[in-house]
């Protein structure tokens, strides 16, 4: 077997050796942490992604050992392969930080900034990117784009105003399902994700577009407006599924399963299964298995401490318990003088109403009708 050629590359003063053909982004991810540039369109599990959003721009301060001249412009690290002796600056480059702020400003030009009502809030890559590189104001003076509503079937909701045209969902539909019925129509300011003549996306694996969408443009209709991700407790679980790996993350509150997603790695991409294949999940696992007894619970999912989701990561027995009582912990060890059960005082949030099982978002009637029945 021929020996693999290794190239030495330095990113933000950290040197590693990677096989020839590795991109700068992949090399930086091997170093890890803040050295890895953000990526909104590249997705390592899908062929042909990258090169669309420009968030991964880096400065190449030395081209290679043989030709040490710097590259004249910032380059997209997801599409540029390393050369032997290359030196790259990411967070150590002022030019990169400045350019990234400009890219965020462009990505947000037409964005509705509706994070308070968006289901992706708390796990949105655009939200994180804006937090790290965005500016408080905008220089844009024109009206933001609006779109005709497209129905993407009974499980997926498209909010085109939030889309950043990263093409990931189009690649998924092309590479994972055998019947792509949506794509990007038109060009420039008119470009939009659309299903031709409003066809619904019925493929058994199409739910994965929700997991790859870096923003809240494609959301799960069975979860919409039901809860905030930081109130939920992510648990690793699996089932014996005939169609997919069956390895998922359940998003629970108490013993109620609000959402089922594929497991994601530290880059927000689908995690590989133990046999090295991407752990895409089927629609049945994602949309129809919403009871804890449909699953074999493995344990709480490890969540980065920096993530807002970690705040809801309460301790307790797996799967079927209510949050651990924290009153004493936050009250200097003192027990409360009086504890009232909100359900005795109010008809709001009746325990008999399982929010994850009602069709659509809850409103006053959900509770009023239910309390009359009780
Ligand atoms: S809908 Fe989401 S995944 Fe599809 S192109 Fe837009 S941002 Fe990307
Ligand atoms: S991640 Fe490289 S251009 Fe989008």
What tens digit of pLDDT does each residue of 221-276 get? 999 999 999 989 999 999 999 999 999 999 998 889 999 999 999 999 999 999 99
More confident residue, 22 or 373: 22
Q: Say how many C-beta atoms besides its own lie within 10 A of residue 10's C-beta.
A: 18
Closest CA to ligand 1's atom 2: 213
Ligand 1 pocket test: which of 193, 201, 270 has the largest number of ligand atoms within 8 Å of its C-beta? 193
- Between CA 230 and CA 303 the distance in angstroms is 11
Task: For residue 51, report the distance from its CA to the centre of ligand 2, in Å.
Answer: 5
Average pLDDT, the chain: 86
Predicted confidence at residue 373, as pLDDT, reads 46
Query: In the predicted model, is pLDDT for residue 322 greater than 60?
Result: no
Ligand closest to Cα of 40 equals 2
pLDDT exceeds 60 at position 321: no
Secondary structure (3-state) at 18: strand
pLDDT in tens, 117-165: 999 999 999 999 999 998 888 888 898 988 877 778 889 998 999 999 9
> pLDDT confidence of 192, banded at 50, 70, 90?
confident
| pLDDT for 297 beyond 70 | yes
pTM (2 d.p.) = 0.85
Three-state secondary-structure class, residue 111? coil
Residues near ligand 1 with C-beta < 6 Å? 163-169, 193, 212-215, 217-218
**Contact between residue 64 and residue 83 where contact means Cβ atoms under 8 Å apart:** yes
């Amino acid at each position: 077997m021929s020996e693999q050629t290794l190239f030495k590359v330095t990113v933000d003063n950290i040197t590693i050796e990677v096989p020839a053909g590795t991109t700068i982004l992949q090399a930086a991810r091997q170093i890890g942490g803040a050295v890895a540039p953000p990526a909104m369109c590249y997705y390592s599990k899908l062929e042909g992604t990258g090169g669309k959003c420009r968030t991964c721009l880096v400065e190449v301060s030395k081209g290679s050992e043989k030709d040490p001249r710097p590259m004249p412009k910032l380059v997209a690290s997801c599409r540029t392969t390393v050369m032997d002796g290359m030196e790259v600056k990411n967070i150590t480059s002022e030019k990169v930080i400045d350019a990234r702020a400009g890219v965020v400003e462009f990505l947000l030009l037409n964005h509705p900034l509706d994070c308070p009502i968006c289901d992706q809030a708390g796990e949105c890559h655009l939200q994180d990117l804006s937090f790290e590189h965005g500016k408080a104001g905008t220089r844009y003076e024109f009206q933001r784009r609006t779109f005709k509503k497209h129905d993407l079937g009974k499980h997926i909701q498209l909010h085109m105003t939030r889309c950043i045209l990263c093409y990931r969902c189009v690649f998924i539909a092309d590479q994972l399902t055998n019947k792509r019925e949506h794509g990007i129509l038109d060009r420039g300011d008119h470009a939009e994700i659309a299903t031709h003549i409003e066809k619904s996306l019925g493929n058994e694996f199409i739910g994965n577009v929700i997991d790859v969408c870096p923003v809240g443009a494609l959301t799960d209709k069975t979860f919409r407006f039901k809860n905030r991700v930081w109130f939920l407790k992510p648990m690793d679980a699996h089932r014996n599924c005939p169609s997919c790996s069956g390895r998922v993350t359940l998003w629970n509150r108490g013993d109620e399963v609000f959402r089922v997603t594929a497991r994601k790695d530290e880059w927000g991409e689908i995690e590989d299964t133990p046999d090295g294949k991407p752990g895409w999940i089927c629609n049945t696992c994602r949309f129809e298995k919403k009871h804890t007894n449909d699953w074999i619970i493995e344990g709480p999912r490890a969540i980065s401490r920096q993530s807002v989701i970690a705040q809801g990561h309460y301790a307790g027995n797996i799967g079927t318990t209510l949050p651990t009582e924290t009153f004493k912990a936050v009250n200097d060890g003192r027990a409360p003088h009086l504890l009232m059960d909100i359900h005795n005082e109010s008809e709001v949030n009746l325990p008999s109403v399982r929010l994850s099982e009602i069709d659509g978002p809850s409103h006053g009637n959900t509770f009023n009708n239910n309390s009359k029945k009780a």
